[in-house]
Amino acid sequence: MQGCAFVDGEFVAPEHAKISIFDWGFLHSDATYDVAHVWDGKFFRLDDHLDRFEASLRALRLDPGVSRQRMREVMHECVRRAGLREAYVEVLCTRGRPAPGSRDPRSCTNTFMAFAIPFVWIADPAKQRRGIDLVVGTPQRIPPSSVDPRIKNYHWMDFVMGLFQAYERGGETVVLTDGQGHVTEGPGFNVFAVFGGAADLQAARVVTPVAGVLEGVSRRTVIEMAAAAGCTVEQRLLDVDELRRADEIFLSTTGGGVIPISHLDGVPVAGRKPGDFGPVSALLQARYWALHEDPRYVEAVQGLPAAR
Ligand SMILES: *Cc1c(COP(=O)(O)O)cnc(C)c1O
């Protein structure tokens, strides 16, 4: 596997990136993480990812033992060593191991790790041209009062069981609800519904759930792009029934940007023909990739050889 990891203060090949089975990150999913991406040799919105990671660390009382500046350097260095121009770059911090015989989280030695591997798509470009079949899963998303979804976390049992269900029903990925009929999110992405906008983009309403979700960096990018395009952006509760009536549906994720949905529970979105996802999704998808050339959003990976 191509890539580079940072574990125990050292840069190592992916096959040597290992942790103790006694680390609570593994035993209790007691960890947080963030994922940024590198496109054409440049990080996209790296500071926003680091802001969110630091907020997650604070909320979970985790101390990575390294400064923000060091985290940034490690991310750059992982990509440089891996020699990747398109990369998936993760930073993580686990609770670590407790003092011998202790069950007190305060006695744990927290550990910081990072890795860069080739870019990972939630749906690759070929699939994106077809559109994704999304399934509304029956597991309820873990409630925010139990695990705060604004902290990027590995509590994915609900998503994983939902994915099995989606595949059994012929779908490709899953979205979960809050148990009261409101859309939340899926494994690694936020969800958007678009109403109107076919004749006039400025008449489009772009809706995304406000509660029970991670505030994705791509979600924020979509909100900013949609507002700049003159659409009305609504961050509010979104009923599954309303999602079924949407003119367009798309996902937002670091793993591929703006990803159009073709079917919801096997039904074509707004009765559309294959490959036609509507004007708002198409515009936002194009603008998302155009932002990867915008110096306000990107920073070059230090020391990476120039593109051939
Ligand atoms: C990472 C993630 C997202 C998307 O966040 P981005 O910053 O846009 O990649 C959405 N939901 C969950 C549960 C996630 O883990």
Distance, CA of 172 to CA of 170 (rounded, Å): 7
What spacing in Å lies between the alpha carbon of 185 and ligand 1's midpoint? 9
What spacing in Å lies between the alpha carbon of 101 and ligand 1's midpoint? 36
Distance, CA of 218 to CA of 36 (rounded, Å): 10
Which residue's C-alpha comes closest to atom 14 of ligand 1?
A: 188
230-285 per-position pLDDT tens digit: 999 999 999 999 999 999 999 999 999 999 999 999 999 999 988 889 999 999 99
pTM: 0.97
pLDDT of amino acid 101: 94
Contacting residues for 87 by C-beta, under 8 A, at least 6 apart: 37, 38, 79, 116, 117, 118, 119
What spacing in Å lies between the alpha carbon of 35 and ligand 1's midpoint? 8
Distance, CA of 299 to CA of 293 (rounded, Å): 10
Determine the atom of ligand 1 nearest the C-alpha atom of 189: 10
pLDDT of amino acid 308: 65
Distance, CA of 62 to CA of 253 (rounded, Å): 25
Distance, CA of 300 to CA of 66 (rounded, Å): 22
CA atoms within a 13 Å half-sphere pointing along the CA-CB vector of 84: 25
Q: Which domains does the chain possess?
A: 4-118 (3.30.470.10), 125-293 (3.20.10.10)
Q: Which of 185, 217, 221, 224 to mutate to test the pocket of ligand 1 (most atoms within 8 A of CB)?
A: 185
Report which of 148, 152, 116, 157 is spatially closest to residue 33, judged by C-alpha positions. Answer: 152
Element (H, E) at 233: strand 232-236
What spacing in Å lies between the alpha carbon of 259 and ligand 1's midpoint? 13
Buried/exposed 206-232: b ≥16 CB within 10 Å, e otherwise: bbbbeebbbbbbbbebbbebbeebebe
Which residue's C-alpha comes closest to atom 12 of ligand 1?
A: 188
Which residue's C-alpha comes closest to atom 10 of ligand 1?
A: 189
36-90 per-position pLDDT tens digit: 999 999 999 999 999 999 999 999 999 999 999 999 999 999 999 999 999 999 9
Tokens of 92: 């993580």
Distance, CA of 142 to CA of 156 (rounded, Å): 9
- Ligand 1 pocket, CB under 6 A: 152, 185, 188-190, 214, 216-219, 252-254
Q: How many CB atoms lie within 10 A of CB 13?
A: 13
What spacing in Å lies between the alpha carbon of 216 and ligand 1's midpoint? 5
pLDDT of amino acid 135: 98
Which residue's C-alpha comes closest to atom 2 of ligand 1?
A: 188
Report which of 53, 121, 62, 44 is spatially closest to residue 91, judged by C-alpha positions. Answer: 53
What spacing in Å lies between the alpha carbon of 26 and ligand 1's midpoint? 20
Distance, CA of 240 to CA of 131 (rounded, Å): 19
What spacing in Å lies between the alpha carbon of 291 and ligand 1's midpoint? 19
